[in-house]
Amino acid sequence: MTIVHRTINYALRAVNRVITFALPWLPRWMVQPFASPYVAGETVDDAIRHIRALNQQGYSTTLDILGEHVQSREEAQVVTDAYCNLFDRIHTENLDSTVSIKPTHLGLELDKEIAKTNIQKIASKAEKYRNGLTIDMENSPYTDATLDIYKMCVNNYNGVGTVLQSYLFRSIEDVRNFHSQNFHIRICKGIYRESPSIAHQTREDIRDNFIRMVKTSLRGQGFTAIATHDPVLIDTLDNWISDHNISKDRFEFQVLYGVPMGDKLDILKNKGYSVRIYVPFGAAWFDYSIRRLKENPNIIWYVLANLFKR
């Protein structure tokens, strides 16, 4: 890399940091352009419109109500009821969409038993409609409890899945330990900052473990969701899947709503692969957007580029 390129990269990172620092202090109307490409509105009706449009384009979806770390049992119950009602709406509207939930949004930080009760209630609603439910993975203090809740739910209904993150050292063994016919796993890189004592820190190591986890899962049983925007991972795994004649009903590709992918998703669809879009919505869009921008300031440049295009 030349001195000029390094200087430009340093300058861009500095601008990213300044903008990211300033966003929490700006009025919401100023932050909204940075959030709106990645959030499907505030209400269920907003989300339904986006889901219907994505379904018409040939994409499956999974819906997530934004929020984490509720402060009371009552708040967790409100969120639980909202997810149960969301399953009702998906069924009534005849949409191709599953649901994804975050355990701390349902009380895990307060008490594991609260989260278990609430998540089991949501899983029962998913079972009623024979729809899918994915229990998202948050940062490492919640990994064991999340997997325990997943095991409980999948024993009752095999439409429940969970998530494993390739930056954690432990995840490859978790893939091996959970292998079963009912195993439904989403593999992603992971977005939280974790200690070097428990997590890979370099892009190359995280990629290598991601590939290893997907291959291990697809050599076993169950269903694997390959959740990444990384074209290197997509192309590598696409080629491996083709070379090994992996059945198309054993996996799907997943991406976040609004993240630019060029023509990559069309290429995957044209190969007959299922592509699912993770669609977040809700009143908590501001906090979600600030957290995501802090975790990945490069998103700012995607947004600025889109604004200039408009």
Distances 203 to 50, 174, 210, 233 between C-alpha atoms, Å? 32, 21, 10, 11
Contact (CB, 8 A) for 77 and 118: yes
pLDDT tens across 24-44, in order?
Answer: 545 554 555 556 667 888 899
The amino acid at 213: M
17 has pLDDT over 90: no
299 has pLDDT over 90: no
254 has pLDDT over 70: yes
Q: 183-214 b/e with 16+ CB inside 10 Å = b?
A: bbbbbbbbebebeeeebbeeeeebbebbbebb
Catalytic residue among 64, 186, 276, 292: 186
Q: Model-level pTM?
A: 0.86
186 carries an active-site annotation: yes
Q: Which CATH number fits domain 43-281: 3.20.20.220, 3.40.1550.10, 3.40.190.10, 3.40.50.300?
A: 3.20.20.220
13 carries an active-site annotation: no
Determine which of 87-96, 121-130, 295-304 has the lowest per-residue pLDDT on average: 295-304
Query: How far is the C-alpha of 192 from the C-alpha of 138, rounded, in Å?
Result: 8
Among 34-48, 117-131, 277-291, the range with the most confident prediction by mean pLDDT is 117-131
- Average pLDDT (249-271) is 93
Query: How far is the C-alpha of 139 from the C-alpha of 155, rounded, in Å?
Result: 24
Query: How far is the C-alpha of 141 from the C-alpha of 296, rounded, in Å?
Result: 21
- 283 closest CA partner among 57, 16, 79, 8: 79
State residue 284's pLDDT score.
Answer: 76
Q: Where exactly are the structural domains of the chain?
A: 1-39+285-310, 43-281
5 has pLDDT over 80: no
Catalytic residue among 88, 96, 111, 136: 136
